[in-house]
Chain A
Amino acid sequence: MDKPAQQRTGLLQGTLDMLILRTLLYGPAHGHQIGKHIQRTTNDFLQMQHGSLYPALHRLEERGWVSAKWETAPDRNREFKYYRLTDKGKKQLVVEESQWKQMSEAVARVMWPTAEES
């Protein structure tokens, strides 16, 4: 069922991109780690769907915001595809962060107007 799936990613797309970029600010990580990290940090509030994670990662790579490379994991004797934030990605993260801030402030003003009006 293509349609609903696409709607879901569409809804989350901007946010998910930002979360991924933010996660990669700590350093390179592979897909599994990124997913787990977001899930853990939000106390399992955001259940990471692999169906959206991988397309998002590949999209970010396609746009040049992250770069990917197969590297051996420090703790395991196996190669993983590590994603790393590029300079372009860092700038994008700043842009998205400020956009998100503006957005949530705007939403907040509508939702809890009293604080502003006083």
Chain B
Amino acid sequence: MKWWQIKKRRADLERELLSDLELEEEEQQERGLPPEEARSAARRAFGNTTLIKEQTHEAWGWGPVERFLQDFRYALRQLRRFPGFALTIVLILALGIGANTAIFSVIDAVMFRALPVENPQQLVLFTWTSRQQLKLHGHSDFGDCDSTSSDCSLSVPFFRAVRAQANSFSSVAAFAGPLEVNFLGEGSAVIAHGEYVSGDFFSTLGIKTILGRQLGLSDDSPSAPPVIVLDYGYWQRAFGADPSVVGRVVRVNSTQVAIVGVVGPRFRHLTPGKTQDFFMPLSLVDRVRNEWWNDRDRLSDPAIFWVSMVGRLKPEVSIGQAQVEVSNIFRNQVLHGATPLSSPADSPAIRLLPARQGLNGESVEYGPMLNLIMVAVGLVLLVACANVAGLMLARSARRQKEMATRQALGASRARIARQLLTESVVLSLAGGVSGVLVSIWGVHALVQLLSQGTTQPFAFVIAPDWRVLAFTTAVTLATGVLSGLAPIFRDARVDLTPFLKESASSTLGGPQRGRGIRLGDTFVIVQVALSLVVLAGAGLLVRTLTNLHQLHPGFDTQNVLLFGLNPKIAGYTDAQTVELYRNVQQRLAALPGVVSASYSEDALVSQSISGLDVHLDGAAPKSNINTYSLAVGPGFFSTMHIPVLSGRVFSSADFSSAFATNAAVTAAEESARKLPVGSASSANLISPTAPVSAHPLQLAPVPVMINQAFALRFFPNRNPLGLHIGDAQEDEPAKGPQPGFLIVGIVGDTKYRDLRGEVRPMMFLPLVGNSAHFELRSAIDPNELVKPVRGIVSAIDNKLPLFDVRTQTEQIEQTLFRERITSRLSSFFALLALLLACIGLYGLMSYTVTRRTSEIGIRMALGAERSRIAGMVLRESLLLVLCGLLVGVPAAAFASRLIANQLFGLKPGDPVTLLAACVLMVGVATIASYLPARRAASVDPMQALRSE
């Protein structure tokens, strides 16, 4: 029989049974029974018609489906009867499932996602180890691996040696970057980020282009015409996805390069979280240089470690075998090269790591924050489960009478279980579906939130993770379903009669106040305790952020506009740079609304720092001290409102003398390096191009200013003004005599890298080259200055891009972005937990009040005042909250120790925060129990007693 015929068949059966029943009745009458008796005799003979119908339905083979539909309809009816209950459960489930899926999806994408390349499991990353630092000419890393645990920067000669000699790999590729370059494509010049890649980078990783061609080995030779391949995102952003971009010639720094292709959207960067705007072959390194690199040849110098290497293992080679092979090549190079970089005692070696595990630089950045949020969300999920369980239990307890009636009417336990199960499943499914929606939205919201921290597009590819979704859904649904079934397990051996008597369920302390209710109490206590943990944690994080915001960084952060200029990569010499800066500064200062303008090597509180090792005059040899350093332009201290405590600020004479000294030292270093040791002759030294005419010792020391911390730390009992430091002659004779520094002034302490860091000794130098960040102190809203400032700079040089335009306060906010996100998210989840706990409390209390209506009626009839009744309910619920707090406070104090390193200005287990969390908890709980209390107080005693 077909499914759609059921309805007809049901009517048919009805008619058949009816007609046969009538026939039976007639026969009974024919036997002489009076009509009334005949009817009942016929019915007796027939038995239970409903049962017959049910059993006949079974014969049709659609029994299970029919029963399910019946249960389903009934479940819907039940839920419609209590829409508040159904809605609450669905909401809780949706939030629990959604929030967890969202956060786990993000964590998975940031921490565990597979690399977006072909067969990523074959890919290994090269890292090196050595007991002592190698004697390197240069070392740079671009944050590809966690530099605290491994070093993955290597030299190009080593890369070439591995490619030529190693047999373990089917191919090896090197990459470095991204590097800031001056990019002149469409319109005006911009700062773009270029990634150096070896010629076989694309083929090794199996990266496809969607337009044009990849870079190949032939592009990676010094004689090849310079070409680049664009990143998909940059092609979209900067070129409007124009397909005619291939073949176009653009300028990178001062080199003309041709765009030959565009990489497909799937590949962003080998290191998750990083991006670049384009790829360029390693061979371009001579022409497209980082401003900080010296003039050494980065392609042939085995003592400059700057590229990361990945290799694709041949299928039959183990990672251990490969490691032995490449370690030999490495040792050979660092120990037996022209100038050994290390000694055998230091046992330099290569360690190969699975690429995904090794390339974790960016994950390290986000990891702790995400873990913290994950814990908070996990606790919220627990609260949600406890809540659902509590609500389901309370409801099932309310339905005991209904269940007892059904059982008394002959419904089997299995049938009731099926019924309850259907209800739970319907509820849970509704929650699950909403959870999916919440998780999709949540992932989106989280990505939005995380992107606020960077000016770059957020580089992790994040989508809701279906495995995670399945997991959280399963956990939550299981809770719903199991707690929905609880009455069956609980009522397995109960006497039915008490439940059928209304009176039995309406007094306190009766036999019915059994396990379920005490279980409900436990659930509320657990929820309160867990919520308090999340609440206290969030409180600590919020207060950390407030503390950081209230901190005075030593300078005036208001009304300052910042922007960066990098003339060097646009082709400026140091002298031209100094001239440019003076010009820009003068014109900016003349802008209406600008109070004063200055510049410095880095902006304050921008997470970048420079440092110097200097030798204090008179200290023991080889005892250098380390100090922060910052090169600044004229008027820096007055512009930033940093107080000058004693001495003077830099004069223009200071800048000229610093420039002269710097130029001479650089030139001397360069000529010394260009001459191989041993072949130096006086004839070569006095070449017409060498600008050095004076011996460095005859140069004036660079005038510097120090901060108060420097003065207190290194000159506790002396006036540092006029003192000379940094004569490193005794320390590094190889480096030659240095002019050193002369202290001319002392200024107040300021924060440098970020707000959290301790104020450390700091030295300010005159800025005489390099890139700079300009600071404009304005009398008006600094954002209004952006347009005129751009106008001024492009009027001076329209090939010079402004970058990182932002106000000082925005800059500080950017450094606080992790704190901001953790405090925001944790507050959100804490409030969610609080809300859930209060819903749980409210549910339990209203249930109690409903059950005790007649008891309350009696009390009132006996003269209890309404306020006393309300007080009784309130007291009972606050007792539960108190129990929760008793568990929660120690738990919170303990848990907060786990986030100790994220706190600022307060200790874990901070009593004020804990107290505030408790007060908030009690306050909201009081509101939650006020409603049931008021309902209890408004019970009409007559009605309550009549309902008995």
Contacts and interface: CB of A to CB of B under 8 A. Distances in A.
A54 B15 contact: no
A55 B56 CA distance: 4
B51 A5 contact: yes
A9 interface: yes
B720 to A, nearest CB: 97
A62 B12 CA distance: 14
A22 interface: no
Contacts of B24: 32
A49 interface: yes
B414 to A, nearest CB: 7
A24 to B, nearest CB: 16
In order of increasing CB-CB distance, the 8 nearest A-B pairs are A59-B59, A58-B59, A32-B20, A55-B55, A55-B59, A81-B16, A55-B56, A54-B56
Given A58-B13, A62-B59, A81-B12, 4 more contacts: A31-B20, A56-B59, A59-B59, A70-B15
B583 interface: no
B55 A3 contact: no
Interface residues of A, number: 23
A47 to B, nearest CB: 10
B61 interface: yes
B55 A54 contact: yes
Interface string A27-48: 0001110000000000000000
Contacts of B414: 2
A58 B51 contact: no
18 contacts: A2-B412, A5-B55, A30-B19, A32-B20, A50-B20, A50-B46, A50-B47, A50-B52, A51-B48, A52-B55, A54-B56, A55-B55, A55-B56, A59-B59, A62-B59, A78-B19, A80-B20, A81-B16
A62 B15 contact: no
Contact of B13 (A54, A56, A59, A62): A54
B23 interface: yes
Residue of A50, A62, A79 ringed by the most chain B CB atoms within 10 A = A50
Contacts of A70: 15
Contacts of B19: 30, 78-81
Given A2-B414, A58-B59, A59-B59, A30 B51 contact: no
Contacts of A80: 16, 19-20, 23
B16 A62 contact: no
A51 B47 contact: yes
Residue of B45, B56, B412 ringed by the most chain A CB atoms within 10 A = B56
A83 to B, nearest CB: 10
Nearest to B12: A81
A23 B61 CA distance: 25
Contacts of B734: none
B69 interface: no
A38 to B, nearest CB: 14
A58 B59 CA distance: 6
B55 A51 contact: yes
A18 to B, nearest CB: 16
A70 B13 CA distance: 11
Interface in B4-62: 12-13, 15-17, 19-20, 23-24, 45-48, 51-52, 55-56, 58-61
A14 B461 CA distance: 65
Contacts of B56: 54-55, 58
Contacts of A106: none
B587 interface: no
Q: How large is the interface on B (under 10, 10 to 19, 20 to 34, 35 or more residues)?
A: 20 to 34
Nearest to A2: B412
Contacts of B412: 1-3
Contact of B410 (A1, A55, A81): A1
Nearest to B17: A54
B213 interface: no
A50 B43 CA distance: 11
Nearest to B19: A80
A80 B24 CA distance: 13
Contacts of A3: 412
B415 interface: yes
Given A80-B19, A81-B16, A2 B61 contact: no
A70 B18 CA distance: 13
A62 B415 contact: no
Contacts of A31: 16, 20
B1 interface: yes
A2 B16 contact: no
Nearest to A58: B59
Contact of A62 (B48, B52, B61): B61
A49 B49 CA distance: 11
A49 B46 CA distance: 7
A64 B51 CA distance: 24
Contact of B20 (A5, A30, A59): A30
B47 A49 contact: yes
Given A2-B414, A62-B60, A54 B52 contact: yes
Contacts of A54: 13, 16-17, 52, 55-56
Contacts of A1: 410, 412
Nearest to A60: B59
A51 B52 contact: yes
A3 B16 CA distance: 25
Nearest to A73: B23
B895 to A, nearest CB: 51
B1 A62 contact: yes
A55 B1 contact: no
Contacts of B52: 50-51, 54-55
B364 to A, nearest CB: 62
A106 to B, nearest CB: 29
Contacts of A55: 52, 55-56, 58-59
Contacts of B45: 50
A51 B50 CA distance: 10
A50 B55 CA distance: 10
Given A51-B52, A54-B17, A32 B59 contact: no
Contacts of A5: 51, 55
Interface in B576-627: none
A35 B616 CA distance: 117
Given A51-B55, A62-B1, A32 B23 contact: yes
Contacts of A32: 20, 23-24
A51 B46 CA distance: 8
A62 B5 CA distance: 12
B273 to A, nearest CB: 60
A49 B55 CA distance: 12
Contacts of A49: 47
Contacts of B55: 5, 9, 51-52, 54-55
Contacts of A30: 16, 19-20
A56 B60 CA distance: 10
A78 B26 CA distance: 13
A46 to B, nearest CB: 14
B341 to A, nearest CB: 84
B41 to A, nearest CB: 14
